[in-house]
Chains A and B, each alone.
Chain A
Amino acid sequence: MVLHNKKLAALCLAVLVLLFALQFVLSSYMILAATRILILAVFAMGYNMLMGYTGLLSLGHAMFFAAGVYASGMVTYYFGVSLPLAFLIGILGAFAASLIIGLLVLRTQTVSFMIVTLMFAQAAYLTTLYFSRYTGGDQGLTLPTSARSFRLFGQILDMTSDLTRYNIAFAVFAVTLIGLYLITQGPIGRLFVAVRENEDRTRMLGFDTYRIKLVAFTVSGTVSGMAGALYGLMFGFVGSSFAAFQTSIEALLYTLIGGPGTLLGPLLGTTVMTMLIDRLSGLTTAYLVVIGVLLIVVTLWFPAGILGTIRNRWLPWLK
């Protein structure tokens, strides 16, 4: 098999080694923060697949994150399904949701696409509230103690241990990074970028662009849902807030800051923004104002994000 973009592959590998080594140096508070960052970065990477590479700006990815959260969390809560199986069910749920919704929303473009994805996501959010008898609504459901650990290959993995959680999050992150590397680099990845750059031309070169967009949408939604399933199971909580509009915006924000259409941008964006919010919220309650100003600055002067700007100026392989 051909390895495309070897420099990027080397960089990804270095990042993975670095992330793995972090657990030996960080404090347990920072380990927890890093765990969250890794999971949210997976969410943003899923989002980036659609927004960054394929050029479709969705405002409704909270619904796929939440699809993963609910599909995995509820089978555990109500049927006592083991965590690994629940995780797979979460991924499957997000896959089904994104495929079906993708078939519908991809009939629209640009602004209508944003509005329709937002509509679907709000409908999903309201649904979780409406059926609060089962979903727990705003209050959410806290997974029982029995669902806080599982046995895998003879090992008991405890979801209340910081290091166990970190390593699981790291493993899922690594698999996602490698998977998205294979999808986005080389001839297949070129088709997603071709749709982003010039859809009409791509159609007139003999490609079914609707199908290309559907693949991107489904991969994007499934990865987002995988992050959701991991988040819910790992922290033992399922709630409507995951399906709220703010969740969609977070994915957009992380991707924009880090660099849309770059493989490592979402990780960087998630790290920067999570740390920033963490520090700022300790200083002032008005931290969202600062975030808002920052977002405006980035959009006006660095629309390609941190890694995107570096790519455009110095490192063309950083994509």
Chain B
Amino acid sequence: MAEVKLLRTQGLARHFDGIKAVDGVDFTLHQGEIRAIIGPNGAGKSTFVGLLSGRIKPSAGRVEFAGRDVTGLPAHKRVRMGLAYTFQITNIYKEMTVLENVAIAAQNRLRPNMLRRNPGGEAEIERLASEAARSVGLGEMLGETAGTLAYGHQRLVEVAMGLAQSPRLLILDEPTQGLSDGEIANFNAVVRKVSETATVLLIEHNMDVVMALADRITVLDQGRVLAEGTPAEITASAAVQAAYLGEPA
């Protein structure tokens, strides 16, 4: 497969009152890969993906997605281009049912304009939504109020909302936080399945998940790229061990 660049940043930076959360990051993501971003707390991982998704505005630098400069594009338009983002802190519609949550996510693709009817119709929205929910193992809970689910299940709703958008790039911000071992195994299987059709960018603390899933790993430290390579290269890197892996958990 030809290495198509799906996402690229150049000198991307974000400063908060003099603190350099992200400090001049050059980053390239190829289509079809599963990339993990790791780094110690405060390394700027969440800010970095915030910049990619458009939730946070950069202080400097540029972001290209699917060959287009999206630096000035608002977040919702980037999502429309196929850049899906799932939140680190579970951020779902707690009062709605699981199916409704995922249906809203599916709706953006099928019904791009709220005043225009989509050709596929509402049945199509429901079908895609329940399919996405089922694929993360929530098939039995479609009618339940999302806010009443166990924490691990709420995280899966979040992931299903990402999937339902059929994104080109799915950004998962610490998706396995708070999941049990069994749920993590299921999650890994889901991500592998997603990666058949989408590129996955994974921010993750759980090194087992990273090692099991990632094709390549980028290590951030103090807002900069410290290292980048295959899981084996990263494990062997002395610099990474000093900054991150060597630290007690």
Contacts and interface: CB of A to CB of B under 8 A. Distances in A.
B132 interface: no
Nearest to B78: A206
Given A204-B53, A206-B79, A206-B80, A187 B108 contact: no
B193 interface: no
A197 B108 contact: no
Given A205-B104, A206-B165, A207-B108, A187 B122 contact: yes
Contacts of A202: 104
Contact of B165 (A2, A205, A212, A215): A205
Interface string A65-84: 00000000000000000000
The secondary-structure label for the interface of chain A is: helix
- Interface range on chain A: under 10, 10 to 19, 20 to 34, or 35 or more? 20 to 34
Interface in A198-214: 198, 200-209, 211-212
Given A187-B111, A205-B108, A197 B76 contact: no
Contacts of B94: 197
A277 to B, nearest CB: 32
Contact of B95 (A2, A197, A207): A197
Nearest to B146: A197
B76 A207 contact: yes
Contact of A204 (B85, B114, B121): B85
B93 A206 contact: no
A144 interface: no
B66 to A, nearest CB: 15
A201 B95 contact: no
Contacts of B95: 197
Interface of B: 53, 55, 74-77, 79-80, 85, 87, 91-96, 100, 103-105, 107-109, 111, 114-115, 121-122, 125, 161, 165
Interface of A: 2, 186-188, 190-191, 193-194, 197-198, 200-209, 211-212, 215
The 9 lowest CB-CB distance pairs between A and B, nearest first, are A206-B79, A206-B108, A197-B93, A206-B80, A201-B91, A203-B76, A205-B105, A194-B104, A206-B76
21 contacts: A190-B100, A190-B103, A190-B107, A191-B104, A191-B107, A193-B93, A197-B94, A201-B93, A202-B104, A204-B76, A204-B87, A204-B91, A205-B108, A205-B165, A206-B79, A206-B80, A206-B109, A206-B165, A207-B76, A207-B114, A208-B76
